[in-house]
Amino acid sequence: MPFQRNQVDELSSKGEAIVRRAGEIVHKHWDRPKNVQYKGRIDLVTETDTAVEDYLTRELSLLLPKARIVAEESAADVDPGDLAWIIDPLDGTTNFAHGLPHVAVSVGLWGKGRMIMGFIHVPKLNEFFSAVRGRGAFLNGRPITVADAARLDATVVATGFPYSVAEDLEQILPPLGRVLEATRGIRRLGAAAVDLAYTACGRFGGFYEYGLKPWDTAAGWLLVEEAGGKVTRTDGTTPYGFDSPGILATNGTLHAALAEAVEGEVLGK
């Protein structure tokens, strides 16, 4: 880790405070007109996305001036380099636009090839998830662990769909059918950061999705691992990275079985 313990303590404490204040912006904007704009056919952006990102960019840059900012609405590229804050100011913008509460502010700190800390704030549900590498994962200050399920049919799994869903149905539908058949059920909350946080705290036994960006997964990736889970590409064995086409996160015990359901073949043989 590129910081001393006391530095990590300070960054974690001040970073959490900044992310909590970003959640207050979401609260303040909740009942306002959303002024929705379109980045794509169903890819939305609102004034709240921009306001939260501007606030986080300013405050996190002051907290750690040497770190790059890789944020959804302003990133020129997705390479975090050696040190970066990775920011999704409003994960679940479509939910926000429709008044659905699964909306998160997600912030992760990347350093020297791995996640160092992560925060996922779901302000409308009053839930704050946090993790620092090597120190465990927490929900509202209480330690969390992944689900103890040993069978796919004893757990609920989450997924999401890319904005290019209409063009990618041939990739999306076969895994969806296999996972639906193998599990107790599938949930689609519309916010990957929330899906990963819920996997970390045991509400979901696992999560998979294709086509995500670093800001979708950075904080949640660390949360799952610090809660005792496993994160890879969807093949179940290849290490996950920001250039991965898809992500698979589970409690660890279910990893091979969920990978096989997603990929449609017996893997690791």
Bind-site residues: 72, 88, 90-91, 216
Phi-psi region of 154 (alpha: psi -120 to 50; beta: other; left: phi over 0): alpha
Identify the CA nearest to 146 among candidates 256, 248, 66, 223. 223
| Residues 145, 131 contacting (CB under 8 angstroms) | no
Neighbours of 164 (CB within 10 A): 16
Write out the binding residues for Mg(2+): 72, 88, 90-91, 216
Listing DSSP states for 113-151 in one string gives TEEEEEEEEEGGGTEEEEEETTS-EEETTEEE------S
Neighbours of 13 (CB within 10 A): 10
Identify the CA nearest to 69 among candidates 46, 48, 85. 85
| Residues 37, 45 contacting (CB under 8 angstroms) | yes
Q: Which residues contact 6 (CB under 8 A, 6 or more apart)?
A: none
Please give the Cα distance from 140 to 126 (Å, whole number): 8
Q: Is 167 helix (H, G, I), strand (E, B) or coil?
A: coil
